[in-house]
Chains A and B, each alone.
Chain A
Amino acid sequence: MTTNPLTVGLVGCGAVTKLYHTPALQELERLGRLKVVALFDANLANISPIQQAFPKAVIVREFDELTRLAPDLAIVASPPRYHASQTIRLLEAGMTILCEKPMALSIAEGEAMVTAASDAQRLLAVGLIRRFFPTTQVVHYLLSRNIFGNVSSFTFTEGRVFKWPIQSASYFQDNGVLRDIGVHILDLLIWWWGEPEEIVYEDDAIGGVDLNCRIRLKFPQGFRGEVQLSREFHLPNTCVIRCDDANIHLDVDEPNQFQIEFHDSRYYMAGQLHTTSNLNKSLIIPGPIAADFHQCFVNQIKNVLSAIRGTESLMVPGEAGLASLRAIESCYSQRAMLDMPWFSKLEILRSQQIKDRQPR
């Protein structure tokens, strides 16, 4: 059975659109799954490289023109401070939305988005791409079935020298490392274990946004863990989950590889994930290597397209996005100063004074 391709509008043509959404959309266009019909960005200069990829798409100069064109799906990849207002407007116009992370800057904004989707009876998906990593899905499988026993602790560290090709100083407005990278990690942790019952948060923002932060969390199952994030340094970009019988190691840059360190065993397993289509048979024939980072973006859009057609549920609906927003808000509401041991006593005092005046 053939179906007409669904129409897609791109809202925001910055770096994430250029680097990730565009190649994914091109691939799905080639497969006849969708057609990109509209491009919008407040900065027209951003649109031209995207238009080269989708020459038949209409360049929309005023945001409200999009509501007139009304594509089936709008991908909202504008700066986070516009996510809520743009998403709500487009939902009201009858579109399904895939909104980039963070879905909003506050719970209130996020809840308004979810309500707008419900009122309009339209789908709202959140671009928390890491849920589409084969590794995180396998971890979800292993943890939900207690394959390696109970979890005793975890450590998640992620840090890189910031090189994202931003085009404006406003990128940093209300967008520290916690909202930028932390939202992915908090989302994964909540997906695996539910919402944390305790959060202790420290960062190094001194009147601006967080460059480095540390989060200590306790989950309802009783175990604790720590997340360390940096936009300044390279850190081991790994997640280690310690269970009764084994430790699971993930490298966040390798969506289809992971390692298992078995306790009381001389063996350590480093695995490459493959897809398989014959799960119910005793003979498993490995299929192709599981999705890489680019393919995860393809799969994310495929999931939304299938949800529009009613053949799949959304992998990350708006309600799921709210949970990580709640965790972020909990972090910022109690932010303490990260220990910066190279500061003089006077600098520590002054930075604390500035931090105390910072909005929470």
Chain B
Amino acid sequence: MTKFAVLGANGFIGTRITEMFALSEGIELRPIVRDYVSLVRASRFDLDSRVANAFDQQALQIAFQGCDVVVHAVAGDIKTILGTLSPVYQAAQEAGVKRLIYLSSGSVHGQTPQPGTDERSDLSDQQVLPYNNAKVRAERTLSKLRDRGGVELVILRPGIVFGPRSSWIINFADALLAGHASLLNRGEGICNSLYVDNLVHAIYLAAAQPAIDREAFLLGDQECVTWADIYRPIAKALEYELADVPEGVVAEQDTKQASSWFGRLEPVRVSKPIQSILSIVPHRFRVAARRAYETIFEPSGDSGPILPEHAQPVISREMAMLYSCRYKLPHSKASRLLGYQPPVSFPEAVRRTVAWLAFAGYPVKAGLRR
């Protein structure tokens, strides 16, 4: 029986790994989180959960004892991405772990990869987005650690991981309900989607397959889908039409909306009391309320300096690049070496995701709640 330590077990991906592995035969699981509060999701199960900060090598070493495989699923800022690598690798080494599976990202190839891009393509750490550069540097750092260490290293590069608890889904649903959702190019850009269950399946394969040390694998769903393909069913479930979602304008700087008057009002509009009311208000009234809100708060030409510069919703540079993608990253190497075939189809993945939204209290239309 393979014993997994999952670092970052309270995150979106870590939670689903915990659920799937805890309910699988032949897997022993040890969720690891950074503090006691973060044990909350794993507390649903009777598991040997541990608390260890991913920067703390000594604590990690104790937490990894007896585990065969460590899955590094810690999400965070650049400091976290880069600062946790050495402690995790060294702790794994000291604890006698056989293999480290690192969740990198397809974005090491950029948000708009060139046609033909695959695992053999050169990686640059001089990209526009600091996140991409951090992930490239993380892969390089881990490779160097592997050169000196004895723990096998497998790098997974998932695309846009979505599903229950995913911020891609939550953010879009929240934006729709708050009346500031937006798209670019009607959402016709390619979304390199990866349903979270398919990623967990790939992690399982990456732990089991021999002779894949130091390999990196791009991962995606079987189908080639667009952003509209993901967002349309979410919109429909919440009784919106994707066609009604306006085109956004690309931010010159990502902080622009937050500094505008409109941006400063957002906490009010998306606040719990307002949202709790919105959640029980029928769609047609929500649309009317939104129009009223926009009449009051959106610019009307020469209303003075406090009004926002953009009437249209602002899209971050990262999202603008993602919405402009024209290439589906391949997962043929993962198919060949890991035997990866995504077990959950895209339509089923979307159905489950919409049903989860209902579970999480979103006002999902009757008939789509399961």
Contacts of B356 in A (CB 8 A): 341-342
Closest B residue to A351 by CB, please name it: B23
A206 to B164, CA, bound (A): 18
Q: Known: A206-B22, A236-B276. Contact between A340 and B359, CB under 8 A?
A: yes
Q: Is the beta-carbon distance between A163 and B49 smaller than 8 angstroms?
A: no
What is the minimal beta-carbon distance from B297 to any residue of chain A, in angstroms? 21
Contacts of B20 in A (CB 8 A): 347
Q: Is the beta-carbon distance between B36 and A168 smaller than 8 angstroms?
A: yes
What is the minimal beta-carbon distance from A259 to any residue of chain B, in angstroms? 10
**A210 interface residue per 8 A CB criterion:** yes
**A251 interface residue per 8 A CB criterion:** yes
Q: Is the beta-carbon distance between B361 and A162 smaller than 8 angstroms?
A: no
A228 to B19, CA, bound (A): 22
**B352 interface residue per 8 A CB criterion:** yes
Interface residues of A in 163-177 (CB under 8 A from B): 163-169, 171-172, 176
Q: Is the beta-carbon distance between A206 and B44 smaller than 8 angstroms?
A: yes
Q: Size band of the A side of the interface? A: 35 or more
Contacts of B251 in A (CB 8 A): none
**A237 interface residue per 8 A CB criterion:** yes
Q: Is the beta-carbon distance between A166 and B37 smaller than 8 angstroms?
A: yes
Contacts of A234 in B (CB 8 A): 272, 361
Contact with B361, one of A208, A230, A346 (Cβ below 8 angstroms)? A230
Contacts of A82 in B (CB 8 A): none
Q: Is the beta-carbon distance between B44 and A163 smaller than 8 angstroms?
A: no
A204 to B40, CA, bound (A): 13
Interface secondary structure of B, over-half rule = helix
**B187 interface residue per 8 A CB criterion:** no
**A129 interface residue per 8 A CB criterion:** no
**A90 interface residue per 8 A CB criterion:** no
Q: Known: A341-B352, A342-B163. Contact between A236 and B361, CB under 8 A?
A: yes
Contacts of A163 in B (CB 8 A): 37
Interface secondary structure of A, over-half rule = loop
What is the minimal beta-carbon distance from A210 to any residue of chain B, in angstroms? 7
What is the minimal beta-carbon distance from A187 to any residue of chain B, in angstroms? 22
Q: Is the beta-carbon distance between A237 and B22 smaller than 8 angstroms?
A: no
Contacts of A347 in B (CB 8 A): 19-20, 23
A207 to B19, CA, bound (A): 12
**Residue from B36, B275, B280, B352 having most chain A Cβ neighbours under 10 A:** B36
What is the minimal beta-carbon distance from A267 to any residue of chain B, in angstroms? 16
Contact with A169, one of B36, B41, B164, B352 (Cβ below 8 angstroms)? B36
A interface, CB within 8 angstroms of B: 157, 159, 162-169, 171-172, 176, 204-212, 228, 230-238, 251, 253, 338-344, 346-347, 350-351, 354
> Other CB < 8 Å A-B pairs besides A169-B49, A169-B51, A342-B353, 6 of them?
A162-B40, A172-B40, A208-B47, A234-B272, A236-B361, A346-B23
5 A–B contact pairs at CB < 8 A? Answer: A205-B44, A233-B360, A233-B361, A235-B361, A238-B276
B interface, CB within 8 angstroms of A: 19-20, 22-24, 36-37, 39-47, 49, 51, 163-164, 197, 272-273, 275-276, 279-280, 352-353, 355-356, 358-361, 369-370
